[in-house]
Structure 1
Amino acid sequence: MELTYFSLSITTSLLLFSLSLIHIYWGLGGLWPGKNKQELIDLVFGKGNQFPSAFSCFFVAVFLILFSILPIVWIYRVPFLIHPQMTNGIRYIMYFVAIVFTLRGVLGYLPFVTKHWKPIFVYYTKRIYNPLCLFLGLVFWGMAFFT
């Protein structure tokens, strides 16, 4: 059981950290996975013709980095980071993160939400973004409830 928690916490942390690096890349002007600005907007934002500001990308990246630290800190109760009396506070943060990812994962499947998005974004959101968010939500729910 310990190996499962270790694997999940490391996998989740690496995944979230990788996503933060992608947001930093976008904040610095990177275009991947698009070939130009409009294609990037269509693929990762889903609507409009203006990509979020660099500040917005960095803001999301900071939270993804903070979220990436949570699983390891939580599973191992890192003594210099978590005072025993802070455990409930960290657990509530885990619930919050679980809610954020679960909502993002579920909302992306609802037609009244997706009707405003570009078809290519709907395609990727249903096959990649939503399952990824639901996975992350389930991991955070599981860690907060069962560890």
Structure 2
Amino acid sequence: MIFYTILLIFTSLLLFILSLIHIYWAFGGLWPGDSKQDLIDKVFGKGNQFPSPISCIFVASSLLIFSLLPILWMNQKSEWINPQILIWVRICMAFVSFIFFIRGVLGYLPFLTKHWKPIFVHYTKRIYNPLCLFLGFAFLMMIILG
């Protein structure tokens, strides 16, 4: 049971941090790049135009909402959560799991990676894909164990 609680908290915290990074990018932050083009190469893999601040805020908002799902799920036995809401939380968690699994798997497909910058392929295979697969697995485990 302690593993389950740690998984819920860690997943929620990780998604919250990813949300903050997207907000940072929306306001012009360059990390992990040294310039705008370097950031584009490392985070998006192709092109020369960074997504709009509205796009970054949209992704940040989505990640923030995703980060709240484990917290709601962790408190499912509380009196203040309606059981009908938990059905929707479970559906949302399944959807989020699916999104992260798809993103995690697609980054390993050679017909996609051949169109990306080498630095992005490096980050995708070593960081982004494993992170997405972990998140997909974490949400799936929450549903199964919860």
TM-score by length of 1: 0.95
Q: In structure 2, the residue corresponding to 1:30 is in which secondary structure?
A: coil
Q: 1:58 to 1:117 in 2, by over 3 A?
A: same
Match of 2:31, as an amino acid?
Answer: W
Instruction: Work out the percentage of aligned pairs sharing the same amino acid.
Output: 64
Q: In structure 2, the residue corresponding to 1:50 is in which secondary structure?
A: coil
Runs of 4+ in 1 over 4 A off after TM superposition: none
Residue ranges of structure 2 left out of the alignment (5+ in a row): none
Q: 1:125 to 1:79 in 2, by over 3 A?
A: farther
Q: In structure 1, the residue corresponding to 2:56 is in which secondary structure?
A: helix
What is the alpha-carbon root mean square deviation over aligned residues?
Answer: 1.0
In 2: Cα distance, 1:24 partner to 1:64 partner: 11
Counterparts of 1:52-91 in structure 2, within 5 Å, are 52-77=51-76, 78-80=78-80, 82-91=81-90
What's the CA shift for 1:146? 2.2
Task: Look up the match of 1:24.
Answer: 23
In 1: Cα distance, 2:86 partner to 2:19 partner: 25
Task: Look up the match of 2:99.
Answer: 100
TM-score by length of 2: 0.96
What's the CA shift for 1:87? 1.9
Residue ranges of structure 1 left out of the alignment (5+ in a row): none
Name which of structure 1's ranges 68-77 and 130-139 shifts more when overlaid on structure 2. 68-77
